[in-house]
Amino acid sequence: MSNNPACELLSSIDVDIVWKLERRDRGVSLTATHRRVGWVPESVELTQVTEPVLAYYPLEGPARGYLAGTREMVDLLDRLGIPTDLTRTKVRQAITASGHSPGRNDVLSDAIRFRRDRDAGVVE
C-alpha cells in the first residue's frame, strides 16, 4: 500500500484520467499520469492568452512549451557563451565554474533544448 494520499484516493474512486499540471513560460503543460482510455494523449501543451479574456489554446506543430524559468536560464547560457552542443552535465559544470547556480535539471534541459531549437530555426 502506498503512503501517498493521492494514490490512496485514486484507488477508492473511479477515475479515467489523472493530469499533472506544470506551469510553462507561455502557458501550461498537462501530462496524463494515469489513464484508462486509449484516446487521451500522454501530454498536452497549452498556450495562455489574456486578451480579450483569459484562455488556453493547444500549441500546434513541433512547438512545445518550456518550463517557467527557461528564458532566464537561456539568457544566462547566452551571456556565458556556453556552446549549444554540450551535454547537460557539461553545461552544468560550466555554469558552476562561472560562479552561477545551474538550478533545476528540468529547467536546464529545457534551456539547452530551446537554444538548440533556436539554432535550428524552430523557435525565435
Which grid cell is 61? Answer: 506543430
Model pLDDT for residues 65-102, shown as the tens digit of each residue: 677 788 899 999 999 999 999 999 999 999 999 999 99
Q: Which of 23, 59, 24, 68 is nearest to 41 (CA)?
A: 59
User: Where along the chain do its domains lie?
Assistant: 5-58, 70-120
Instruction: For 39-75, write each residue's pLDDT tens digit.
Output: 777 888 887 777 788 887 776 544 556 777 888 999 9
Nearest to 29 by CA among 67, 1, 60, 74: 67
Is the pLDDT confidence value at 23 over 50?
Answer: yes
Q: How far apart are CA 98 and CA 29, in angstroms?
A: 32
- Indicate if the alpha-carbon torsion angle 26, 28, 31, 35 is positive or negative: negative
